[in-house]
Every structure is written in C-alpha cells, then in structure tokens.
Amino acid sequence: MKAKLDFGAEIDILSGEEFNKGLRQAIAFMRAEAESLKHVRLPVLSGQVAAGGTITLGSEGLLDQSANQGALCGPRSGFAWRITRVSVTGLLAAEELSLYWADASPQRYVAGITGPGLFNLSTKSLLLKPTEHLVVSGSGLTAGETITVSGEAIEVVAEQIFKIL
C-alpha cells in the first residue's frame, strides 16, 4: 500500500493483509523453534549410605537395583538434556556429594554439592547426550543416612541439540 505525504515523497506501507501474513509467518517460526523443547523433571535417585560412608547413585555398574540406586538419570534414546537444577536432601551440613556425567571418573566431574542444598545450573551447563546419565557420588558420609537427588532439565530431540546449547 502506498501513501502520498504532504512533502511529496512516497513510502511503502503494509496493507492489513500483508501485515497479517508477516505476523502469521513470525508466529509459525517461533512455534517451530519452541516445539521440540520440553521441561522434564529428573527421575528421583535415592539410596542409603553404606557402612563405609560411601554412596553412588545413577551408576550403571551398581548391582543393588533397590531404592533406585541402580536407576539411570538421563535422556531417553534419541534425546538430549540440559540439566538446569539438581537438589540434594539427606546430607549433613559439612558433607559433600559430587556430580558427574556418565560415570564417577575425575575427568567427568561437574560440581560438588555441600550439605542439603541446591545446585543451580542456569549459569553453567550440564549437557547429557543420548546414552549419557547423571551420576552422584560421595564418601566420608554418615552411614545409614538416606540421600535423595532430584532436579529439572530441558529435553530436546538430539538432532536439535543446538537449541539448548
């Protein structure tokens, strides 16, 4: 649509139809971008600290499948997670758990959580790709105490992992 201004210059102004078409395209683009993102709550990992003061939750190698100690906390096949929050209950104030991805080896260390608390990953990223999982481990803990780990993540189809980087 064109309009003539008092000073003689012509400008191109969108018609109502052109504006609505552009708006629909923008909404469709935004919807497609957000479509594959999904908020998920992490599976709760819980277990009792062994007599020696150690615990590992979420490890594939655990033989004790009771109380979720052998459960894996990671994305399902074909998906990826960006973990945004991990909460721990059951620790005493000076006790510490370590977070790892895939296994509790030093090169896969992510962070430590001291005492009952929250580890907010909003400024840091813990990205779990298909087949990877969160492992929580600690030593020097009080035998018999029950440790529970929970949290939240953003899930996306693995091919669109760039959306959560």
Q: What is the rounded CA–CA span in Å between residue 161 and residue 81?
A: 8
Query: For position 26, what pLDDT does the model report?
Result: 86
pLDDT of residue 48: 92
pLDDT digits 0-9 by tens, 31-77: 776 677 899 999 889 999 999 999 999 876 543 434 444 468 899 88
Can you give the pLDDT at residue 125? 72
Q: Structure pTM?
A: 0.73
Confidence of residue 152 (pLDDT cuts 50, 70, 90): very high
Q: What is the DSSP string of 135-163?
A: EEEE-SPPTT-EEEEEEEEEEEEGGGGGG
Range(s) for CATH 2.60.120 in the chain?
38-164
**pLDDT tens column, 72-128:** 889 988 999 999 999 999 999 899 999 999 888 999 999 888 888 777 776 667 899
Using pLDDT thresholds of 50, 70 and 90, give the confidence band for residue 1.
low
Q: What pLDDT is stored for residue 141 in this prediction?
A: 95
Contact indicator for 75, 101 with CB cutoff of 8 Å: no
Q: What is the CATH number of domain 38-164?
A: 2.60.120
Question: What are the contacts of 101-109 at 24+ separation with CB within 8 A?
Answer: 101/126, 101/128, 101/132, 101/133, 101/134, 101/135, 102/132, 102/133, 102/135, 103/59, 103/60, 103/61, 103/135, 104/56, 104/59, 104/135, 104/137, 108/135
Tokens of 44: 């709760």
Q: Check pLDDT > 90 for residue 8.
A: no
